[in-house]
Amino acid sequence: ARFRSVDEDFFDDLEELMIESDVGYEMAVRLSDELREEVKLQNAKSTQEVSNVIIEKMVELYEEAGANEDDSIHLAEQGPTVIMFVGVNGAGKTTTIGKLAARYKQAGQKVLLAAADTFRAGATEQLEVWAQRDGVDIVTGPENSDPAAVVFDAVKKAKDDHYDILFVDTAGRLQNKVNLMNELAKMKRILTREIPSAPHEVLLVLDSTTGQNALNQAKLFKESTDVTGIVLTKLDGTARGGIVLAIRNELHLPVKFVGLGEKVTDLEKFDASDFVYGLFKGLVNVQ
Amino acid sequence: MAFEGLTERLQKTMEKLRRKPKVTDADLRETMREIRLALLEADVNFTVVKNFVKTVQEQAVGAEVLKGLNPAQQIVKIVNEELTKMMGETAVPLNKSDHIPTVIMMVGLQGAGKTTTAGKLALRLKNEEKARPMFIAADIYRPAAITQLKQVADSIDVPVFDLGTDVDPVEIVRQGMEVAKEHHNDYVIIDTAGRLQIDEALMDELANIKELAHPDEILLVVDAMTGQNAVNTAEGFDEKLDITGVVLTKLDGDTRGGAAMSIRAVTGKPIKFVGEGEKMENLDVFYPDRMSSRILGMGDMLTLIEKA
Ligand SMILES: Nc1nc2c(ncn2[C@@H]2O[C@H](COP(=O)(O)OP(=O)(O)OP(=O)(O)O)[C@@H](O)[C@H]2O)c(=O)[nH]1
Ligand SMILES: Nc1nc2c(ncn2[C@@H]2O[C@H](COP(=O)(O)OP(=O)(O)OP(=O)(O)O)[C@@H](O)[C@H]2O)c(=O)[nH]1
Ligand SMILES: [Mg+2]
Ligand SMILES: [Mg+2]
């Protein structure tokens, strides 16, 4: 009975917390309504019971939106697996490739990187530093050259020299720039032309500090390059990345990895319950 | 965008208000609800929105009905005015030292646009004042950060002072300042590594650089797509460094840029420039009225006032 008297405040706080985590207003209202119902349904009373119900329900809602999807990385049945990285400027594409390449290399795979950001100052050199750190090979092109040519050279090399996996780094671009989005689609077509099943993954790299604009990013990148999953970066900061709930719900894109820092080891597979705990940190108890 | 539905909703609320002689409490509440939603969808921080709505409501209740404006128009007018006032009203120029060099320090989260903006600022100073700026490369952490700065600098013909990545950034800045004095550079722009405001060690590093270089301008560079978290970032950097201004980058995208309002509200520091592209020319001074229009949708605001 004690809880009953505080529950409206509690759900107001919950809603506020979700808005402040960038879940978005409508989504936050909808979710807190569903959670309120669920708490009633389960007759949860103590704060701990309520916390448990909320976390379970949120994870269930997240997973429901993506039923029949899987969050693993799709590998080629034979020949090189190709993973292309796309996203807006500064989101963390190049760094994520550096981290992921190290993992595959350590797992004994033969890894190749394609430096298809020929535009931004120092972009090729940045990926080269990662290639060196990771001890993997890299294909580069001259500054300001056609990135599609780098993609072509890299995919050809991956085939000819029997690489297991090719990571394609692309220049950051804002989703409303039509020409740049077309350029991305062109790079993807080249990959498919050379290896019909490629790219096996197109990962959209999303900065977790991003607000509601992330939904537009996901929509437009999905339209131009058939994004297959999301990498949510910079979760080591104070942002909680709540917008991925709306993205999951509207576009059914799963988060595959999270970035938790700038070091090579700061990458983890996405875990829905960890994410939900992070979202409600401070309000619900972790058990 | 989600905003279109919102504009329609706001318009409907306005329609209803149109024929009334004065604004009732209920009218006001309904309109303010829509405004609140518009601001939240533009990523303005929750608490900032709450306070803003309160202020506007107080203004609207006390406001005399102006001749020629109906109640609906009046509310929109007040919202627009308050928002513009809050954004700082007029463009604020760069601080300048009375003896050379003027020192500008770029700070912010990872990937916000510090290095790019450093280049844009230098080009602007060259073009406007025939200035002879020099960069100090104080980012020893991000892979190829120095190469990036050097390429940017080459493209606009500005010298870079660097000591590679094995020397402490504070020491790099110390030596760089000496070189700038020897060479009589009139501006020094310090490019620092991106960092989280909760990273104590790296925030201390910035404080030490500040103490040594006495910057006239500490510019917090913020990505315009930032959501609710903009207040944490701005507060964190401002508390530690007492920033002197803000640059809002990536405004060439389709974000509404509510972060601008959040930052302004929590720090009170002026937004001095906006980045509107990746090229060195893509830097503009900040116009508060344009920004408030963008956050609420000025096209929409004007039509609303006309139609209401
Ligand atoms: N704290 C933190 N920083 C990160 C993370 N991932 C990337 N960064 C940093 O964010 C900045 C931008 O990362 P990049 O990998 O260059 O981003 P990008 O998307 O390749 O950028 P562009 O190619 O310029 O569009 C760098 O300073 C990275 O070190 C993360 O998970 N946490
Ligand atoms: N579209 C657009 N891109 C921008 C703008 N400003 C910077 N960028 C891009 O954003 C990305 C990150 O910019 P940087 O200048 O490397 O950012 P930074 O803050 O120095 O990054 P770190 O040093 O890693 O913390 C790059 O791809 C830039 O080209 C802008 O106003 N518009
Ligand atoms: Mg990159
Ligand atoms: Mg930089």
- Which residues are CB-neighbours of A203 under 8 A, at least 6 positions away? A83, A84, A85, A86, A96, A227, A228, A229, A230, A231, A256, A257
What is the overall mean pLDDT for chain A?
A: 92
* Res A174: pLDDT: 98
Place of tokens 């009633």: A40
Q: Nearest chain A Cα to B224, which residue? A: A210
* B250-292 pLDDT, tens digit each: 999 999 999 999 999 999 999 999 999 999 999 999 988 888 8
Residue A143: how many CB atoms within 10 A of its CB? 14
* Res B66: pLDDT: 62
Model confidence at A2, pLDDT cuts 50, 70, 90, reads: very low
On the CB side of B210, CA atoms within 13 Å amount to 19
Residue A90's Cβ-count burial label (10 Å; 0-12, 13-18, 19+) is: buried
A155 residue type, one letter:
V
Model confidence at B228, pLDDT cuts 50, 70, 90, reads: very high
Residue B193's Cβ-count burial label (10 Å; 0-12, 13-18, 19+) is: buried
DSSP per residue, A91-104: SSHHHHHHHHHHHH
- Whole-complex ipTM: 0.95
- Which residues are CB-neighbours of A283 under 8 A, at least 6 positions away? A13, A14, A17
B292 vs B119, higher pLDDT: B119
Give mean pLDDT, residues A235-242.
94
Place of tokens 């349904």: A41
Model confidence at A123, pLDDT cuts 50, 70, 90, reads: very high
CA–CA separation, B219 and B106 (whole Å): 5
Q: Residues lining ligand 2, judged by CB closer than 6 Å? A: A 89-90, 120, 172, 174; B 108, 110-116, 139, 142, 145, 193-194, 221, 249-250, 252, 275-278, 282
On the CB side of A277, CA atoms within 13 Å amount to 9
* B50-87 pLDDT, tens digit each: 999 998 888 877 666 666 666 667 777 788 788 888 88
Checking if the pLDDT of B299 tops 60, the result is no
* B171-207 pLDDT, tens digit each: 999 999 999 999 999 999 999 999 999 999 999 999 9
* Percent share of chain B, pLDDT over 70: 85
Phi/psi zone of residue A82: left (φ > 0), alpha (ψ -120 to 50 degrees), beta?
beta
Q: Do B227 and A129 touch (CB under 8 A)?
A: no
Indicate the residue of B111, B198, B226 with minimum beta-carbon distance to A91: B111
* Res A164: pLDDT: 97
Indicate the residue of A22, A216, A236 with minimum beta-carbon distance to B228: A22
On the CB side of B18, CA atoms within 13 Å amount to 12
Residue A153's Cβ-count burial label (10 Å; 0-12, 13-18, 19+) is: middle
